Structure 1
Amino acid sequence: MIGPYGFPEHTVALADSVQLAYVDAGKGPNTLIFIHGLSSYVRAWERSIPELSKTARCLAVDLPGYGKSSKGQYTGTMDFYAEVIHQFIQKLHLKKVTLVGHSMGGQIAVTLALKYPADVQKLVLTSPAGFETFTEPERQQLRAFYTVPSIVSTPEAQVRTNHKYNFYRMPAEVDLWIAERLRMMQCDDFAQYAQTVVNSMAGMLDGPIFDRLPQVKQPTLVVFGAEDFLIPNRALHPKLTTAQVSAAGLARLPHAQQVLLPEAGHFAHYEQAAEFNRLVANFVR
């Protein structure tokens, strides 16, 4: 249901029968591991890998349950995904690693950096989840919103709208993402995928990082799109701005810098790819 990613594709066997799909491009003194967000996959990085792979080894993974990786009864916790990336780093004997995490992938990256600090040299967090905090009643509302039946029965028009919410101006390339998502919905195992999304949302809510940010020792680059429609949550925090969420997280990180990219939404790294790639390349160097 998912076509070629456009980069050399591989699979590695990890613990608990996880088959992790990933792409591997470029070489250099540094290694970048790209971690996608909720309901996403490797294509999220297709505007960054071509440029950044000119000077670094770039590996982008499909998290378990997503994309071309194995499907299963995965807990979806941030610790689970952090453990998966840790195993990936160990299995491939990777050194001088910078984690590049988008949205949920940013929360996973921070969780990994705290759990296995020796694995991670630097962090790039683009529109990271975990900077915005929620009360217990708000967490219950969010859990109730993400259900397997609601995901399985999402009409095509809503699928298209959901994708548009991620962008300030949705690029034409995203039509392929939508087409692949619609094809996935016809698969026998789509309910299993939907359960992964539900578990991942619960995993984010149950694995908060905001209070732990002062423990992050790695140099960190934080990038948000100034027009992010998803962070903060517009329904729960209508008076909060993206800039305020970013600044709150930045204030707790000991070694961090922040960039707000104009005319960019939740996929800031995709809409403003040239500037994002320049920032990351300079930061890694």
Structure 2
Amino acid sequence: MYHPFGYRNTGTLKKVVAILLTLFMSTGCIPKKTTLKPMADNLSPPAVLADSSKGSFWKNQVKYPLPVQYFSVKDARDQIWEIAVMDSYLGFPVDEDTPTLVLIHGRGANSGYFYQLMRYAMEADIRVVAVDLPGYGKSLPGNLGNQIPRTMDDSRKLVFDVLVQQMNIKKAAYLGHSMGGQWVLGYALNYPNAVEKLILESSYGLEEYSTTVPINESEQLAIFNPIMRYDYSKWQSIWSRLGYFDQEFAKSAEDIRVFYHFQKLDPETGSITRSPVGYFKNQSIDSIFLTRVRTQMIWSTADEYERYIRNSIWDIYGQGIELRREDPDSLVKNLEHIRVPVLMAFGEADPFLPTTLFSNNRNIRHDIVKPAFIRLASSGYLPRVVFYKRSGHIPHADQAKKFAADVIQFIGNGEVVSKQEDPLAY
């Protein structure tokens, strides 16, 4: 497989280089403060470990592909947040010319499910930085004392302070999956000098929502009223009427497992049948990991599980208040101000886009991709658009090799390996 950064079988060579570098360090030829990054051979599949202890599920049982670094950062309300980051590069040393890929996960997910993409990118000589957003993954247990209300811009500012101010990552390609796609779009608008390219995987943030939704034949509920953005009690009083909290807390591990794989469980007979809705079309290391995390979380530390559910539901609101049709400054209306190359990648079998309940859109190509393409192209960069067959909402898991090849090529020269679509021809 061709890779623009020289993806090649260099396992033995890199081991020799690592040994030589260690010898040089011991003789003083290289400053001892220099840290060698792990080789790809040491990148291990993510896992959920058995643990009978009473400690944190996320810190004690969830194993990520690489060691995690923790950074402390203060928000505008003087809350201290602990942000978990994986950072690895096989080259030596890291400098301003090192190609860097920052990975931002989706709502309810964590950076551990990027394992396959991380491996391919690292072996293509790309520095990979994977972030757990505040309230998710390993950025959850250290922040249980913080308030749930936060906007996506609050989250972006925290991560900017970690990546740019503390880690000195001045410029990078940012990949966002699902909610993470909307996150990186807003990040590129807020911090344009920090973003070199954008990769939008099954991205939200490309269509506008109504502020209100019908909850019965005669009543509309203003679920995306921005006035609630820091008022948790007001927000909960509105959102509890949607039934999301009860639905999530009532799910069994089996309910979750079958749903993740486009199946449904009959509660009366116990039979499992096909479903048009789910996350994974194919089984992979990433799909197995994310499914196990979500199912085993049910029996994890009670306060962590409850916070996970509430964070996940809150972020539907956090996304929605940026996308209101009634807002003259909505995220979608600002897409034309994004002035970097963009790759838009989707799964052909994605059941979650468009978000019909909130947007009333029904066709992903006509209602989402084409309008977003036109807005983004107005800046002078024609987005690359790819749809993957036999893939649902998570192409980096369902079609790992194809997706990784496109990401690597796009970082290298702005092109992709896969066949592109022309949204203007829809």
TM-score normalised over the length of structure 2: 0.62
Structure 2 counterpart of 1:25, from 88, 91, 113: 88
What is the match of residue 307 of structure 2?
A: 192
Deviation per CA, 1:134-161, whole angstroms, max 9, x where unpaired?
Answer: 2223385795547334322222233124
Change beyond 3 A, Cα 1:116–1:141: closer
Residues in 1 aligned to 2:403 and 2:396: alpha-carbon distance in whole angstroms: 5
Percent of pairs with identical residues: 25
Distance 1:241 1:167 in 2: 20
Q: Pick the aligned partner of 1:10 from 69, 89, 93.
A: 69
Determine the C-alpha separation between the residues in 1 that align with 2:356 and 2:369: 15
Once the two structures are overlaid, the 10-residue window that deviates more, 86-95 or 152-161, is 152-161
Give the Cα–Cα distance (whole angstroms) in 1 for the partners of residues 111 and 130 of structure 2.
Answer: 6
Q: 1:239 to 1:180 in 2, by over 3 A?
A: closer
2:135 to 62, 65, 73: 65
Residue 393 (structure 2) aligns with = 266
Amino acid at match of 2:86: V
Q: Structure 1 stretches of 5 or more lacking a match?
A: none
Moved more, 149-158 or 168-177: 168-177
What does residue 84 of structure 1 align with? 158
Structure 2 equivalent of residue 127 of structure 1: 202
Q: Deviation of residue 43 (structure 1)?
A: 2.2
* CA distance in structure 1 between the partners assigned to 2:89 and 2:180 by the alignment: 22
Q: Which residue in the other structure is 1:250 paired with?
A: 373
Q: What RMSD, in angstroms, separates the aligned Cα atoms of the two structures?
A: 2.2
1:151-170 correspondence to structure 2 within 5 Å = 151-164=248-261, 165-170=278-283
Matches within 5 A, 1:98-113: 98-113=173-188
1:169 deviation in Å? 3.1
1:213 maps onto 2:213 in alignment: no
Structure 1 residues 237-276: Cα deviation after superposition (integer angstroms, max 9, x where no partner): 7872222322221121032221111111110122111111
SS at match of 1:74: coil
Q: Which range is displaced more, 169-178 or 156-165?
A: 169-178
* Distance in 2 between residues matched to 1:113 and 1:77, nearest whole Å: 16
Tell me, yes or no, if structure 1 residue 284 matches structure 2 residue 411.
yes
1:148-199, Cα deviation, whole Å (9 max, x unpaired): 3432222223312442211233446523322322332232212122111121
Deviation at 1:121, TM superposition (A): 1.2
Q: Find the structure with the greater CA-based Rg.
A: 2
Distance in 2, Cα, partners of 1:238 & 1:225 = 20
- CA separation in 1, counterparts of 2:403 and 2:384? 13
State how far apart, in whole Å, the 1-side matches of 2:182 and 2:126 are: 23
User: What residue ranges of structure 2 are gaps of 5+ in the alignment?
Assistant: 1-56, 92-97, 214-220, 225-238, 262-277, 324-330, 413-426
Q: Bigger CA drift: 182-191 or 116-125?
A: 182-191
Distance 1:146 1:60, change over 3 A: farther
TM-score normalised by L of structure 1: 0.91
**Whose RCO is larger (CA < 8 A, sep 6+)?**
1
Contact 1:228 1:266 in 2 (8 A): yes
Shift of 1:235: 5.4
C-alpha deviations, 1:89-130, integer Å up to 9, x for none? 221000331110001001110111101111111111101111
Greater shift, 154-163 or 270-279, is seen at 154-163
Deviates more, 1:175-184 or 1:4-13: 175-184
Instruction: State the 1:49 CA deviation.
Output: 0.2
- Mean CA deviation greater in 19-28 or 210-219: 19-28
The answer as to whether partners of 1:227 and 1:242 remain within 8 angstroms in 2 is no
TM-aligned CA deviation for residue 77 of structure 1: 1.9
